[in-house]
Chains A and B, each alone.
Chain A
Amino acid sequence: MARGQAGKSGGLRWSRLAVGAGVLGVALLCDLYLADFVHDSSIRQLFMLAACNVLVASSLNVINGMAGQFSIGHAGFVGLGGYTSAVIASNLHEMLGGGEPTFARSFIVVPVCLLASATLAGIFGFLVGLPSLRLRGDYLAIVTLGFAEIFRLVIATAQAGEDGSPIARALSRLGGQNGYMGIDNQGIPLYAGPFWVFGLAFVLGVVAWRIKFSGWGRALRALREDEIAAAAVGVDPTRYKVTSFVIAAVGAGVAGGLMAIMRDGTPIVNPDNYNFQASFDAITMVILGGSGSVTGAAIGGVFITFSIKAIEQVQATSAVQALRREFESLDLNALRMIVYALVLVLLMVVRPEGLLGERELFQKRRGGRGGSGPDAPRAGAKAEAA
Chain B
Amino acid sequence: MGLVLEQVTKSFGGLRAVGGVSFTVGDKVIFGLIGPNGAGKTTVFNLVTGVYKPDSGAIAFGGVDLVALKPAQIAGAGVARTFQNIRLFGQLTVVENLLVACELQKKAHLASAVLRLPAHYEDERAMHERATELLRIFDLHEMADEAPTSLPYGDQRRLEIARAMMLGPSILLLDEPAAGMNYGEAEGLKTQIRWLRDTFGVAIVLVEHNMQVVMGVCEELHVLDHGETIAHGTPDEIRKHPKVLAAYLGEDEEAPSVRAAVEEASNPALPDVEPSPRAAGEADAATAPPRAEKLSEPELADLSRELTRSLERGLAAPDADDEGLAEPGAKEPAAVEAVEVVTAPPAPPARVDPEVAPSAPDVSALDGGWGSEPEAPARDAHANGVDKGSNGVGPHGDDDPHKKEGG
Contacts and interface: CB of A to CB of B under 8 A. Distances in A.
Interface stretch (B135-143, B160-168, B275-283): B160-168
Contacts of B213: none
The listed residue with most A CB atoms (<10 A of its CB), out of B83, B121, B400, is B121
B101 A234 contact: yes
B91 A232 contact: no
A228 B100 contact: no
Contact of A231 (B75, B110, B121, B400): B75
A228 B145 contact: no
Interface residues of B, number: 53
Nearest to A12: B116
Given A5-B125, A207-B114, 12 more contacts: A211-B113, A215-B103, A225-B91, A231-B50, A231-B71, A232-B75, A233-B103, A233-B167, A234-B105, A237-B72, A367-B93, A367-B95
Interface in A3-53: 5, 9, 13, 16
A219 B103 contact: yes
A222 B114 contact: no
Interface in B187-228: none
A232 B402 contact: no
Contact of B163 (A5, A16, A233): A233
A234 B104 contact: yes
Interface stretch (A102-110, A146-154, A369-377, A378-386): A369-377
Contact of A210 (B51, B96, B116): B116
Contacts of A215: 99-100, 102-103, 106, 113, 123-124, 127
Given A211-B110, A216-B110, A366-B145, A229 B89 contact: yes
A205 to B, nearest CB: 12
B92 A218 contact: yes
Main secondary structure of the interface of B (DSSP, over half): helix
A213 B9 CA distance: 42
B89 A226 contact: yes
B332 interface: no
Contact of B72 (A16, A211, A231): A231
A207 B167 CA distance: 28
B110 A225 contact: no
Interface residues on A, range: 35 or more
B80 interface: yes
B113 A232 contact: no
B88 A229 contact: yes
Nearest to A224: B91
A227 B72 CA distance: 10
A271 to B, nearest CB: 33
A358 B399 CA distance: 28
Contacts of A226: 87-89
Given A214-B110, A369-B124, A373-B116, A233 B75 contact: yes
A237 B100 CA distance: 13
Interface in A208-259: 210-211, 214-216, 218-219, 221-222, 225-239, 243
Contact of A221 (B89, B104, B124, B402): B89
Contacts of B257: none
Given A232-B75, A234-B101, A236-B73, A358 B91 contact: yes
Contacts of A136: 402, 405-406
Nearest to A5: B125
A378 to B, nearest CB: 15
A218 B72 contact: no
B70 A222 contact: no
Interface string B58-90: 000000000000111101100011010001111
A366 B145 CA distance: 8
A232 B123 contact: no
Contact of A234 (B103, B124, B125, B401): B103
A85 B166 CA distance: 46
A92 B55 CA distance: 58
B48 to A, nearest CB: 11
A13 to B, nearest CB: 8
21 contacts: A210-B113, A210-B114, A214-B114, A216-B103, A216-B110, A222-B92, A227-B402, A228-B71, A228-B83, A229-B88, A233-B101, A233-B167, A234-B103, A236-B70, A236-B73, A237-B72, A243-B110, A367-B92, A367-B95, A370-B124, A371-B121
